[in-house]
Chain A
Amino acid sequence: MSFYVEHQKYRDFDWAGYFRAVTPEQVEKIIRGDKLGLLDFLALLAPAAEKHLEAMAVKAHRLTMQHFGRTVTLYAPLYLSNYCINRCLYCGFSSRNTLPRKQLSPAEVAREAAIIRSGGIQQVLILTGDAPAVATVEYIAACLQVLKRYFPSIGMEVYALSTGGYSRLEAAGVDALTIYQETYNEELYAGLHPQGPKRDFRFRLAAPERAGEAGLRAINIGALLGLDDWRRDAFFTGLHADYLQRRYPAVEVSISLPRIQPQAGGFEPAFPVADRHLVQYLTAFRLFMPRAGITISTRENANLRDHLVRLGVTRLSAGSCTVVGGYGDQTETAGQFAIADHRDVAAVAAAVAALGYQPVFQDWHRLDGPAGEMNRK
C-alpha cells in the first residue's frame, strides 16, 4: 500500500463535473460543520466556495488559534549546494541553466550557520539540488555535524532518498523533511521533468512515506502552485497529507503553499494562482486538517504574508537567501527562485508581534545532544 494507490483512485475523476455541482448551501453547511471529509475539502476548493472566503477565513482563524495559539514559528533556509542533474523546466537550478555551481565546504557551512544564528534563527532548513554523486548523503551528514553546533532543530529539503538515506540523515541529526511533489498530475509531471532522477514520479511521491519509515519527526509536503490547475493540486496535497497523518500518526504533518516565482530560465506558469485562490486553498486546508502546520515562504511578499498569518499560517521563513553561500557573500544573486519578502529576521519577528502573535524561534530540541551525553556518564 502506498499513496500512489490513493492517487490512482482519482485518475478518472470528473473534476469539472464535481466542481460544477457544488452549491452555495453545500459550502455553507460544510463551513458550519465539525469535521470535513475529503469531498467536503474538495467542495471548499470549488469556484462556488470563492464567495464564502470570509466565512472560511473566520473559521480557519478560530481553528488555528485553538490548536496553535497566537504563535508563528520562524525558520531560515540554508542552501548547501546548487549542483543538479535534473532539467526541471520551472527551477533555477536546472542543469540547463548556466549559473555558477557551488557546494559549501564544512567551513563555509559553519560561516553561513553563524550568520543565520546571529540573526536569531534557531531552526534551519538545509537544501541541495539533485546531484546525489556530488551532494552525497555523507556530504549532507558531514554538514549536519557542523550545523548541530548552531541549531537545536534542522530540517532538510534535498533530493528524494531511499529509506536508508533518510535513516542515515535522521541519525546524523535531521528532524524534519520537506519535499514537494511539484504537481500530482502524472502526465504533466513527465513533461516538466524531461531528464534526471526526479523524472521518477512514483519514487518522489513515496518519499514522505520512506521518511516516515525512517523515523523523521516532521514531514512537510506541497505542490508548486502554477504548474497545474491549483484546485487539483491543492486537493491532492490535502489527500496526501491526510494519508501521511493516518499512516504515521506520530509524525507532525504540514504543508507549504509555494507559488512559482521568477527564476533563471524564465519559466512562465501555465496556471497562475491569484491571491484569492491562495487564500481559498489555505483556509480550506485549515478546515480540513485543523492540526496540520502551514508554511508560507519568502516567495510571497511581506504584505501578503502578514495578512496570511491570521488565516492559518503557522510557520514563516525569515531573512531568507536562496543562493549557495549567499548569507556571507552577497555578490552572487542567482538563487533557486526570486525572494519577494526581503525583510530581515528582526523585521519579520516585529511584524508578527505587531499582529498580536508570538514569533517562536525554537519549537524542538534535538535529543541527541546533552541528553545523549548524560546517558554516557
Chain B
Amino acid sequence: MASDQLVIGGRELTCRLFVGTGKYASNEQMGEVLRWSGAQVVTVALRRIDLQAKQDDILRRIPPGVQLLPNTAGARNAAEAVRIARLARAAGCGNWVKIEVIADNKYLLPDGYETVKATATLAAEGFVVLPYISPDLMVARELVAAGAAAVMPLGAPIGSNRGLKTKELLRILIAEIPLPVIVDAGLGKPSHACEAMEMGAAACLVNTAIAGAGDPVGMAGAFAAAVQAGRQAYLAGPDRESELARASSPLTGFLFS
C-alpha cells in the first residue's frame, strides 16, 4: 500500500479523502475536521475569503502542508470562473483551482460547456485545474484535451447526501478517462464513499455530509476510514458478483478430486 499514491499536478498524495470548508458551525470546528480527516487537499470557496484581511480566518486554520484547492463557487460562466481563479492566485492561494460553473441555482448542476472553456484558459495559464462536472463522457474527454489535471464528477446533486445516483456513468468515466476521477458532491454516508472507491475512483470530496453530521469530527474520521477501505478493496480486486450461490467448499468437489 505504501506505493499507492495519487499524483495530481506533480504532487503525491497518500490520503484520498478531499474535504470542503463550507457549512460548519464555526471555523474552529472546520479546522478540527481538517486535522482529524487527514485530508491533504482542502477546497475553499474564494467568495468566502476575506482578501483585504491580513490573514483570512478560514485560510489560517488550514494545516501546514495541506494543498489548498480554491473553488470558483458563484461563477455563472467561464469568464467569471477564470476571473475568480486569477483572483485566488493573486491572493496567494496557489495555482490549484476547482472549477465550478453553475448557472442553475435550483439544482446546482454544473455547466459542462463553460467548464471546458474555463479549464482550457486556466490550464494554459499554468493552473492545476480540477473541474466539477456531471459525469458526462464527452465533457470529460473535452476536459482531458483542455488540460485538466483530474475530473470531479458528481455522485448526486450538491448537498443532497443521496449517494452514488450516477453510478453507471461514473463507471464509464473511471474506465475511459485517463485522469484521476474524483467523485464530488452527493456523498452522504461513508458507505457511499467506500463504494465509489471500490469502483476505482481515485478519490472522493466530501463537505455537506461531514459538516452536517451530529459530530463532524467523528464523521470526518469515518469518511477517511471508508475511503481507505474502499481503495484497499479496489486494489485487492473484489470477487465478481453472481446471481447464483457459490459455496466456499463445493458439495460436488469430491467427484473431481
What is the interface residue range for chain B against chain A? 20 to 34
Verify if B161 is at the interface (C-beta below 8 Å from A): yes
* Interface mask (A215-234 → B, CB under 8 Å = 1, otherwise 0): 00100000000000000000
Verify if B106 is at the interface (C-beta below 8 Å from A): yes
Contact A71 B23 (CB under 8 A): yes
Given contacts A69-B22, A69-B24, A363-B47, contact A249 B105 (CB under 8 A): yes
Verify if B97 is at the interface (C-beta below 8 Å from A): no
Select the stretch in B10-18, B78-86, B132-140, B165-173 that faces chain A: B78-86
Closest-CB distance, A330 to chain B (whole angstroms): 27
Verify if B103 is at the interface (C-beta below 8 Å from A): yes
Contact A353 B48 (CB under 8 A): no
Verify if A374 is at the interface (C-beta below 8 Å from B): yes
* Interface mask (B30-71 → A, CB under 8 Å = 1, otherwise 0): 000000000000000011111110000000000000000000
Specify which chain B residues have a CB less than 8 angstroms from the CB of A375 in the assembled complex.
Answer: 83, 86
Q: Tell me the complex Cα distance, A152–B91, Å.
A: 14
Contact A371 B86 (CB under 8 A): yes
Closest partner residue, chain A, to B20 (CB atom): A69
Q: Tell me the complex Cα distance, A356–B28, Å.
A: 12
Specify which chain B residues have a CB less than 8 angstroms from the CB of A370 in the assembled complex.
Answer: 51, 87, 90-91
* Interface mask (A156-169 → B, CB under 8 Å = 1, otherwise 0): 00000000000000
Q: Tell me the complex Cα distance, A122–B49, Å.
A: 11
Closest partner residue, chain B, to A67 (CB atom): B159
Given contacts A152-B51, A370-B90, contact A250 B24 (CB under 8 A): no
Contact partner, B105, options A69, A70, A252, Cβ 8 Å:
A252
Closest partner residue, chain B, to A66 (CB atom): B159
Verify if B228 is at the interface (C-beta below 8 Å from A): no
Given contacts A152-B52, A365-B46, A365-B47, contact A356 B83 (CB under 8 A): no
- The number of chain A residues with a CB under 8 A from chain B is 35
Verify if B257 is at the interface (C-beta below 8 Å from A): no
Verify if A358 is at the interface (C-beta below 8 Å from B): yes
Contact A360 B48 (CB under 8 A): yes
Within 116-153 of B, Cβ neighbours of A (below 8 Å) are at none
Given contacts A68-B23, A152-B51, A365-B46, contact A374 B105 (CB under 8 A): no
Closest-CB distance, B210 to chain A (whole angstroms): 10
* Interface mask (A351-375 → B, CB under 8 Å = 1, otherwise 0): 0010011101111110101111011
Specify which chain A residues have a CB less than 8 angstroms from the CB of B22 in the assembled complex.
Answer: 69, 71
Q: Tell me the complex Cα distance, A161–B27, Å.
A: 40
Specify which chain A residues have a CB less than 8 angstroms from the CB of B87 in the assembled complex.
Answer: 365, 367, 369-371, 374
* Interface mask (A62-95 → B, CB under 8 Å = 1, otherwise 0): 0001111111000000000000000000000000
Within 143-195 of A, Cβ neighbours of B (below 8 Å) are at 152
Specify which chain B residues have a CB less than 8 angstroms from the CB of A356 in the assembled complex.
Answer: 25
Closest-CB distance, A198 to chain B (whole angstroms): 29
Contact B23 A69 (CB under 8 A): yes
Contact A364 B23 (CB under 8 A): no
Contact partner, B24, options A70, A291, A363, A365, Cβ 8 Å:
A70
Specify which chain A residues have a CB less than 8 angstroms from the CB of B104 in the assembled complex.
Answer: 249-250
Contact B90 A364 (CB under 8 A): no
Q: Which of A70, A358, A361, A365 counts the most chain B CB atoms within 10 A? A: A365
Verify if A253 is at the interface (C-beta below 8 Å from B): yes
Contact B80 A365 (CB under 8 A): no
Q: Tell me the complex Cα distance, A374–B108, Å.
A: 29
Closest-CB distance, A250 to chain B (whole angstroms): 4
Closest-CB distance, A211 to chain B (whole angstroms): 14
Specify which chain A residues have a CB less than 8 angstroms from the CB of B86 in the assembled complex.
Answer: 371, 374-375
Within 235-254 of A, Cβ neighbours of B (below 8 Å) are at 245-246, 249-253
Q: Tell me the complex Cα distance, A143–B84, Å.
A: 25
Contact A70 B51 (CB under 8 A): no
Verify if B94 is at the interface (C-beta below 8 Å from A): no
Specify which chain A residues have a CB less than 8 angstroms from the CB of B52 in the assembled complex.
Answer: 152
Closest-CB distance, A51 to chain B (whole angstroms): 29
6 contacting pairs across A/B (C-beta < 8 A): A68-B23, A152-B50, A249-B106, A250-B103, A251-B105, A365-B51
Knowing that A69-B208, A71-B24, A363-B48 touch, tell me 5 more A-B residue pairs with CB under 8 angstroms: A66-B159, A67-B159, A70-B211, A246-B106, A367-B83
